[in-house]
Amino acid sequence: MSILVTGATGTVGSLVVRGLASAGAEVKALVRQQGKLAFPAGVTEVVGDLTNVPSMRAALSSVRTLFLLNAVTPDEVTQALIALNLAHEAGIERIVYLSVIHADKYVNVPHFTGKHTVERMIEKLGLPVTILRPAYFMQNEGMVQQAIEGYGVYPMPIGSTGVAMIDARDIADIAVAELLRRDGASTALPAVSLDLVGPELITGASAARTWGSALGREINYAGDDVAAFEAQMASFGPAWLAYDMRLMMAGIQKIGMQGADGAVDRLQAMLGRPLRNYASFVSEAVAATRSAA
């Protein structure tokens, strides 16, 4: 029996596949198109789609453990509910689901409320699932790095309440640890939820200072205007996603993104090392850009 990883070609999913393969697990990677990404030796590509029921039934037929990650799309809830229902029908009792932090608080943000709906299904059916609830990914900063370096401004309107940004590599390492823990258990383990957060709170002003330090020049925070942010996002992406991101940024300004008490210590104990911090991530990103120039 094996571990099926959905979202296997994405930022987190590809890292999870690599981590599981390195640990010697039997891994199946769900892909829409074979050969899109070079996976480690021994990883089996399974062609399928989360809304294609026959392909998902086939993908789950010889699987003991499931990592469910589905991207932010208009049919995100449908994808997740179908996958979980089919996994339940197949008798899979070892599941790790990638949700989002504060899904119950950001009630007007479509992809947050979608994930909260999935969490409620998990709870109502009593599924043995680890729910991972990450805060904002540090890797999302890649969307604005060019603007930061080219115009001297940090444009993400995250405000001053504070976001405990987390590195996607840490998310993947925690997911791998939970998948291996569940996969290796003799029986289904109790459900558990984990807030995945970084070791510090980042604000718009502190993010600008961090980028400025790494670049060796002044970087200014562009401010809290979420309407301008939406317009900018809509200029190079779908309008529905730009609006979803606008609502998320407004929520970040008001509520922030902070883990439960003791979350950082718990995660570091799981990893056996410190969580990656924002300054280190920014330094790496700047170095990578300079080496590619």
pLDDT of residue 185: 95
Query: Over 80: is that where the pLDDT of 127 sits?
Result: yes
- For the cut 80, the answer to whether the pLDDT of residue 293 exceeds it is no
Which domains does the chain carry?
2-135+167-196+258-275 (3.40.50.720)
Mean pLDDT across the chain: 96
pLDDT at 133: 98
- CB burial readout 33-67, b (16+ within 10 A) else e: eeeebebeeebebbebbbeeeebbeebbeebbbbb
Given pLDDT bands bounded at 50, 70 and 90, which one contains residue 132?
very high
Burial (CB count within 10 angstroms: exposed 0-12, middle 13-18, buried 19+), residue 156: buried
Whether residue 110 contacts residue 80, with contact meaning beta carbons closer than 8 Å, is answered with no
Beta-bridged to residue 96, according to DSSP, are 67, 130
Q: Provide the percentage of residues in the chain whose pLDDT is more than 70.
A: 99
Burial of 229 (0-12, 13-18, 19+ CB in 10 A): buried
pLDDT exceeds cutoff 80 at 168: yes
Q: Give the model's pLDDT for residue 34.
A: 87
User: What is the distance between the alpha carbons of residues 94 and 26, in angstroms, rounded to a whole number?
Assistant: 14
pLDDT tens sequence across 232-275: 999 989 999 999 999 999 999 999 999 999 999 999 999 999 99
Confidence of residue 1 (pLDDT cuts 50, 70, 90): low
Residue 64, token pair as written in the block? 């003991």
The pLDDT of residue 113 is: 97
Kindly indicate the confidence band of residue 61, based on its pLDDT and cuts at 50, 70 and 90.
very high
CA pair distance 19, 83, nearest whole angstrom: 23
Token duo for residue 266: 């718990």
pLDDT (tens digit per residue) in 8-54: 999 999 999 999 999 999 999 999 988 888 999 999 999 999 999 99
